[in-house]
Chain A
Amino acid sequence: MRNNHQLRDATRRHFFSDCGVGLGSIALTSLMNNGRLASAQTADSSEQVISNPLIPKDSHFPAKAKAVIFLFMAGGPSQLELFDYKPKLAELSGQPIPESYIAGKRFAFMNSSHRINLLGPKRTFRQHGESGAWVSDLLPQTASMVDDLCIVKTCKTDLFNHAPAKLFMNTGSGLFGRPSMGSWITYGLGSECDNLPGFVVLQSGPRGPRGGAVLWGSGILPTTYQGVPLRSTGDPILNLSSPVDVTADQQRGVVDAVRELNLKRLVATGDQEIATRISAYEMAYRMQSSAPDLMETSSESKETLSLYGIQDPGESSFARNCLLARRLVERGVRFIQLYHTNWDHHGGPTENLETHLPSICQEIDRPCMALIRDLQQRGLLENTIVIWGGEFGRTPMGEVRESTGRNHHIDAFTMWMAGGGFRPGTVFGETDEFGFGPVDNPIHVHDLHATILHQLGIDHERLSVRFQGLDFRLTGVEPVHVVNEILL
């Protein structure tokens, strides 16, 4: 990043050197202490407080976790090739699924490629660790760490097309325009980092996730709380770099002059929004050096890089994003979401279970486990919830296009959680002999959301916003429960 060090130096020279002091509490008077504005100071203005909408807020009750890392496997991983071992499915492979399972059900691609013949698991499974969790040969690293994971095999969602289902997993609704979980959480708790956004999104894989920016949108909440994508090429944040021909000193000079003139206007009009804007400019300026700093992964030790399997720290990958996730947690960022595409293994030419599933598993297996181990080693896992999963799972019935795959499936799919007070070494929820539906302990997306909020000290029923006459909340209006069985 050009001028990075100059910028940082300029920051030190002119600005709040102690990042521990949240801007939220800095009174205008302290900004005036530089003397320039002493003459403009009035009794009125001395009461004004510069407000920062991301200032940390108290939770409803004591929290077990402070941060969330959501590893979003976009497209819908096949639980039947990874975690949900079904010998019966192998036995009856090629035969139609009994009518009783699918009567009245609806699936994606109903009119074209949807098939009703069962497809046996394509991989071999073994039990691992003290918990005896079944994991297939596609995820050896994950298998070696099952005793650190809380695996839930009976996740349920409502929608079976990608974009609506992704929205549902993120916002609790299939409709566009609702806040995502990361927005709700930063809205509810603020952020402990005052030089990076409170909700950060990282992406890897061949294409962006279906649905795009609405997946991390703030919907009816102010845009302050929307997810900010950290980009792997160019500026990590849109418009982060100063214009090409502007030096660090010039940029500082511009920001200082803007602040000075804004302060004069604040005093003249008394409008508190100007105070908020002054604070926003200062945070923006700090982001100009803190965001490039964050991206400097080459400063990590060789051991750490090899733990994640990163060869070139400058190259964008899921592994690098996992490392960045840890660096973000260290800096106090509240919610970090990683999207990795493409898990949509229908059996098409670039998305089948035979070759493409193994290669994407290889991309994520080591980095996910490295992230957990790295957080553990630094004492951060205890306070950080790591979530792994997609928008839905895949059908026990096979799909035969150019090669073999499975269709979208919403009745039962697997996700795992680690850290943040989730009970490690747990396998929760059992599915029927084909892995079609739960036989016990179904966990609906809303239950999962409620449980995550609970660990962060938030009562999901109280985190609500009145909009257009309705009280909106992440977990919707139907009854929802916190799944205490999977918590410590």
Chain B
Amino acid sequence: MLTLIASCLGIVLTGQIAEAQSAVKVSFNQSIRRILYENCVSCHGPDAAHRKAELRLDERESAIASGAIVPGNPGDSSLLERVTSHDDKLVMPPKDTGKSLTPVQVDLLRRWIAEGAEYQKHWAYLRPDCLEPPDTVSGKPESPGHQRSDHPIDRFVRHRLSAAGLTPSPMAAPETLIRRLHLDLIGLPPTPEEIDEFLNNFGRDPRVAIEAKVDELLASPHYGERWGRWWLDQARYADSHGYSIDAPRQIWPWRDWVISALNTDMSFDEFTLEQLAGDLLPDASESQKVATGFHRNTQINQEGGIDPEQFRIDSVFDRVATTSSVWLGLTIGCAQCHDHKFDPITQKEYYQLFAFLNDQDEPSMKVFGSAEDGQRLNEQVRQLEQAAANYIRERQSVLGDWEAGLNDKDRESLPKEVITALKEGAKKRSDAQWRSLFGAGPGKTDLDFQKIVEDLKSIRNQIDSAPTTLVFQERASPRKSTILIKGDFTRPDAEVFPGTPALLHPLESSGGRANRIDLARWLTSRENPLTARVIVNRIWQQYFGRGIVETESDFGSQGTLPSHPELLDWLAIEFMDQGWSMKRLHRLIVTSATYQQSSTERTDLRAKDPHNYLLGRQQRLRLEAELIRDAALVASGLLSKKMGGPPVYPPIPDGVMGTGQVKHAWNVSQGEDRYRRGCYTFAFRASPPPVLNVFDAPDGYSTCTRRLRSNTPLQALTLLNDQTSIEFAGALKLLIENKGLEYAFRRCTSRVPQQDELSVLETLSSADAARVLLNLDETISRE
């Protein structure tokens, strides 16, 4: 990650150097902002409490008023004098920070001041520009070997590439392409049969074949599982309460809600609204209430001796941080304790956001499938109870006779609850007591009565066995929210009310105290410069391994600049214009030649753009943790395609559950539940499933907007020796024996092996060859 950031800086610096050397006017956003923000603004910026010398350099007026900058006159600007000073006491940044400006940076500052010292608002806080994609066709000629494309994405990408003297890569081989599409869109590799069919179609008309494939995959229910996991990461989903006790919790109905919402292509603004405020919607349906589980994915501390309020407040902090990172791509956690040091967000504004998310109770709710079902079942119970009561009332005398006829011995032999009911005076008996009494007496042989009782029991069972899920429920009267000094919940300061940062567009409230509906609408407002860009960027990141903005959760002034700003804006506007449809966005991206090109390294690209910022090729990516499991399940033919429901327990090594304070049970699932997709594996936060954890599955402690991709010996040990790996290899061995090595190779890598590759495998037993195939880097990669 460090190298990535460093190299991105490299690109920015290259930009600076270009400007430094050319006659082009120095741009604040391109060159100056980073110099000021990395070196000056933490002490001379928005944070009033920690500001030194009453000097602000993030605002033009203040910088001029203080004499730090005299537009047009670098010589009189104290800023320049201080950054070039040779006096250790005067030089800025101060010696002990270890920072200093390079001669190139000083020169840029000097020229920028000379040219008038114009500031620009940070790009991400301005609404996206509506630009036409550049016309590459009429520009530089297309290089041979790759297809012409009028696709808007390609026009943006190729424009930049050709400006750098580079060409895109040719289209990937059709086997690579179908594997890529399958893994990216549904998270499952294609089978040899699917590949053959695609190759056939591709031979007739590549474009038609690809588009048909894309449509097929987007319509597959497995699309929701693959992209649902993407959202689960951001929502910090797991199946336990976290902290040290880490007891299991039930919130998988929310997980299933996400999968289904994605499969029905719920628009992203509706998706936002239901998750943040479903409970507040008029006549909220059961499903809309389930959706509010998004913000119930916070931890709950059950340790002894704690103050529950402290941890409730911590969970609200987490909700603020998550909302901000996920939708706005802003890190505002620092404003919990003090005004933001870099972005103009005050501590008060932080607590105004906090106030939106501080007014809920946090119950769990029975889930019946739909609100109507729950109501219907409860209504049926009421009717049956009434029917039983009527039935008994009509037979009071029979019951009385039976009761009177009981001797002491008879009474003793009756069930306990009947004896209790008998002891209770007739006037005090509850309906349930009447039923057990009647059932033990005259009702015992009365088939009509037995039927009523049986029906009642079965509906009660249905209600009892319904799963629960964690939800938000607005309190009747809101809590008083205040600023908390240094984020300490024992130190309340001034009262605050729900509101949004002044930096962004104004909040529209339906009147009175703003609520979560207003917050959700504000997030997905057309006026909001951030949300669409942030979401588009985070989807892009899945396809290319990196966002157009590399710092995917920081679009603020400390984040990296977009590699393709116009493309990002165009995609954001297109996303909104297409009704916030995520499926349309996916389709748009994967039908571009940029997406479809080969990922193979090229000498010229390695020299000029070693980290592939300009997208002269696709990116070869190791699969995500769950997909490594899924791919092996498909390869070995073991996969269960069953969707949804409670999480499952595939085998894990002995002793894993004993590392925490409490040893939780892990009763290995039997039957097809043993072979479910990785996204259904039960996830304890404190003792995460090792096979997923070792491949960087997030732990659910806080929002994860981008997974790391590590590459470690423990991963090798897992793929070589873990019980699940052995089981998968056992199944693949049988495939090798029945259908041959080449077939098995295709099941793992989606391509036909070269002869020299086959020869390596042919020297091994089928059992060993199966293990080798499942351990190949290619098997756990998408190229």
A residues in contact (CB < 8 Å) with B:
44, 53, 106, 108-112, 161-163, 175-177, 197, 203, 207-214, 217, 222-224, 228-229, 231, 233-235, 237-243, 250-251, 253-255, 257-258, 260-262, 264-265, 268-271, 273-274, 276-277, 280-281, 283-285, 287-288, 408, 461-462, 465-470
Name the A residues within 8 Å of B771 (CB-CB).
254
| Alpha-carbon distance between A370 and B1 when the two chains are bound, in angstroms | 41
The answer to whether B708 and A223 have CB atoms under 8 Å apart is yes
Q: Which one, B2, B658, B708, B717, contacts A239 given CB within 8 A? A: B717
**A160 — nearest CB in chain B belongs to which residue?**
B305
The answer to whether A271 and B705 have CB atoms under 8 Å apart is no
The answer to whether A176 and B699 have CB atoms under 8 Å apart is yes
Known A-B contacts A213-B660, A222-B710; A280 and B716 likewise in contact (beta carbons under 8 Å): yes
The answer to whether A470 and B331 have CB atoms under 8 Å apart is yes
B residues in contact (CB < 8 Å) with A:
1-2, 5, 98, 242-244, 246, 299, 301, 303-307, 325, 330-331, 333-334, 490, 551, 553-554, 556, 558-559, 599-603, 606, 620, 622, 653-656, 658-661, 663, 685-688, 690, 693-694, 696, 699, 701-702, 705, 708-718, 720-722, 726, 754, 756-757, 760-761, 763-765, 768-769, 771-772, 775-778, 783
The answer to whether A106 and B307 have CB atoms under 8 Å apart is yes
Name the A residues within 8 Å of B709 (CB-CB).
273
The answer to whether B718 and A239 have CB atoms under 8 Å apart is yes
Q: Which one, A109, A111, A222, A241, contacts B721 given CB within 8 A? A: A241
Would you give 27 A-B contacts (Cβ < 8 Å), ordered by A?
Answer: A106-B490, A176-B701, A207-B661, A209-B661, A212-B661, A213-B687, A223-B696, A223-B714, A224-B711, A224-B712, A235-B653, A238-B653, A238-B690, A239-B714, A239-B720, A253-B763, A254-B771, A257-B772, A262-B777, A265-B776, A270-B600, A270-B602, A283-B713, A408-B305, A466-B551, A469-B553, A469-B556
**A255 — nearest CB in chain B belongs to which residue?**
B720
The answer to whether A264 and B686 have CB atoms under 8 Å apart is no
Name the A residues within 8 Å of B783 (CB-CB).
269
Name the B residues within 8 Å of A213 (CB-CB).
659-660, 686-688, 693
Known A-B contacts A239-B720, A260-B760; A284 and B714 likewise in contact (beta carbons under 8 Å): yes
The answer to whether B304 and A109 have CB atoms under 8 Å apart is yes
Known A-B contacts A44-B603, A162-B303, A283-B713; A208 and B659 likewise in contact (beta carbons under 8 Å): yes
| Alpha-carbon distance between A250 and B656 when the two chains are bound, in angstroms | 27
> Could you tell me the distance in whole angstroms from the C-beta of A178 to the nearest C-beta in chain B?
10
Name the A residues within 8 Å of B654 (CB-CB).
234
Name the A residues within 8 Å of B777 (CB-CB).
262, 265, 273-274, 277
Known A-B contacts A465-B1, A469-B331, A469-B553; A254 and B764 likewise in contact (beta carbons under 8 Å): yes
**A201 — nearest CB in chain B belongs to which residue?**
B659
The answer to whether A261 and B713 have CB atoms under 8 Å apart is no
**A465 — nearest CB in chain B belongs to which residue?**
B2
> Could you tell me the distance in whole angstroms from the C-beta of A118 to the nearest C-beta in chain B?
20
| Alpha-carbon distance between A155 and B669 when the two chains are bound, in angstroms | 47
The answer to whether B776 and A261 have CB atoms under 8 Å apart is yes
Known A-B contacts A176-B699, A262-B777, A273-B622; A224 and B772 likewise in contact (beta carbons under 8 Å): no
Name the B residues within 8 Å of A237 (CB-CB).
714, 717
| Alpha-carbon distance between A231 and B656 when the two chains are bound, in angstroms | 10
| Alpha-carbon distance between A296 and B370 when the two chains are bound, in angstroms | 60
The answer to whether B305 and A109 have CB atoms under 8 Å apart is yes
Name the A residues within 8 Å of B661 (CB-CB).
162-163, 207-212
The answer to whether B721 and A264 have CB atoms under 8 Å apart is no
The answer to whether A239 and B721 have CB atoms under 8 Å apart is yes
> Could you tell me the distance in whole angstroms from the C-beta of A345 to the nearest C-beta in chain B?
14
Known A-B contacts A210-B303, A210-B661, A465-B2; A242 and B721 likewise in contact (beta carbons under 8 Å): yes
The answer to whether A466 and B307 have CB atoms under 8 Å apart is no
Known A-B contacts A106-B490, A270-B601, A273-B622; A239 and B722 likewise in contact (beta carbons under 8 Å): yes
> Could you tell me the distance in whole angstroms from the C-beta of A250 to the nearest C-beta in chain B?
6
> Could you tell me the distance in whole angstroms from the C-beta of A385 to the nearest C-beta in chain B?
25
The answer to whether B620 and A208 have CB atoms under 8 Å apart is no
| Alpha-carbon distance between A470 and B336 when the two chains are bound, in angstroms | 14
The answer to whether A469 and B722 have CB atoms under 8 Å apart is no
The answer to whether A280 and B701 have CB atoms under 8 Å apart is no
Name the A residues within 8 Å of B720 (CB-CB).
239, 242, 251, 254-255, 284
Name the B residues within 8 Å of A269 (CB-CB).
599-601, 620, 783
**A52 — nearest CB in chain B belongs to which residue?**
B713
Name the B residues within 8 Å of A217 (CB-CB).
699
| Alpha-carbon distance between A237 and B714 when the two chains are bound, in angstroms | 9
Name the B residues within 8 Å of A106 (CB-CB).
307, 490
Q: Which one, A203, A253, A280, contacts B711 given CB within 8 A? A: A280
| Alpha-carbon distance between A481 and B409 when the two chains are bound, in angstroms | 84
Name the A residues within 8 Å of B717 (CB-CB).
237-240, 284, 287-288
The answer to whether A469 and B712 have CB atoms under 8 Å apart is no
The answer to whether A466 and B5 have CB atoms under 8 Å apart is yes
| Alpha-carbon distance between A207 and B244 when the two chains are bound, in angstroms | 12
Q: Which one, A161, A234, A251, A284, contacts B655 given CB within 8 A? A: A234
> Could you tell me the distance in whole angstroms from the C-beta of A273 to the nearest C-beta in chain B?
6
| Alpha-carbon distance between A399 and B244 when the two chains are bound, in angstroms | 23
> Could you tell me the distance in whole angstroms from the C-beta of B156 to the nearest C-beta in chain A?
25
Listed from nearest, the 5 A-B pairs whose CB atoms lie closest are A270-B601, A469-B554, A212-B660, A176-B701, A108-B305
Q: Which one, B686, B716, B769, contacts A284 given CB within 8 A? A: B716
Q: Which one, A257, A461, A462, contacts B768 given CB within 8 A? A: A257
Q: Which one, A176, A262, A277, contacts B299 given CB within 8 A? A: A176
The answer to whether B715 and A280 have CB atoms under 8 Å apart is yes
**A257 — nearest CB in chain B belongs to which residue?**
B772
Q: Which one, B305, B711, B757, contacts A277 given CB within 8 A? A: B711
Most chain B CB atoms below 10 A, which of A111, A235, A253, A269: A269
| Alpha-carbon distance between A27 and B330 when the two chains are bound, in angstroms | 42
Name the A residues within 8 Å of B559 (CB-CB).
469
The answer to whether B687 and A161 have CB atoms under 8 Å apart is no
> Could you tell me the distance in whole angstroms from the C-beta of B46 to the nearest C-beta in chain A?
15
**A229 — nearest CB in chain B belongs to which residue?**
B659
The answer to whether A238 and B656 have CB atoms under 8 Å apart is yes
| Alpha-carbon distance between A252 and B553 when the two chains are bound, in angstroms | 43
